[in-house]
Amino acid sequence: MNEPSGRTAGPRQPAIRVVLMPKDTNALGTIFGGIILSYIDQAGAVEAHHHVPLPGRLVTVAMREVVFHSPVFVGDLVSFFTETLRVGRTSVTIKVTVEAERSTGSGRVKVTEAEVVYVHVDRNNQPVPIPPAPHSPNPLSPGPPPALPGREGA
């Protein structure tokens, strides 16, 4: 069952934004992929917590379709944008898109994207249902009647 997060529309804002430093580099001098994966996990958790408010516990169970499109360099300002793809009974799937603003001023580039699955757990790390969102309509109610042709907005 897909559910919107209930946040208002507006300019796209990242879940997190970081500047990558020399300590984050691999042997080739670019940012180590594991650093990017760690930030993807954190950004996805920020989005997932819109569905499981703190102090609710979420654990990462899968990272799917991680694609590294372009390298990240020291000094790049890296933004992690998130979108809820699916809210299930105990899990939530988040898409994370990573963009880098080059420190050279050459623009913004999509560098990585991934899907991350989180499961809501109790203190014993057992899966528990995600509470229904307070703004969610009753799935059993018939909803508003369909609009008549030519009467949209009336």
Beta bridge partners of 94: 84, 116
Who's near 147: CB < 8 A, 6+ residues apart?
none
Strands of 16-19's sheet, edge to edge?
Answer: 16-19, 77-87, 91-101, 108-121, 57-68
**Please, which residues have CB within 8 angstroms of residue 3's CB and are 6 or more apart in sequence?**
51, 84, 87, 133, 136
Q: What is the pLDDT of residue 126?
A: 97
- For every one of its 154 residues, what pLDDT tens digit does the chain have, with 9 covering 90 and above? 444 445 556 788 999 999 999 999 999 999 999 999 999 999 999 999 999 988 999 999 999 999 999 999 999 999 999 999 999 999 999 999 999 999 999 999 999 999 999 999 999 999 999 998 776 554 444 445 455 555 444 4
| Residue 152: Cβ-neighbour burial (10 angstroms; 0-12, 13-18, 19+) | exposed
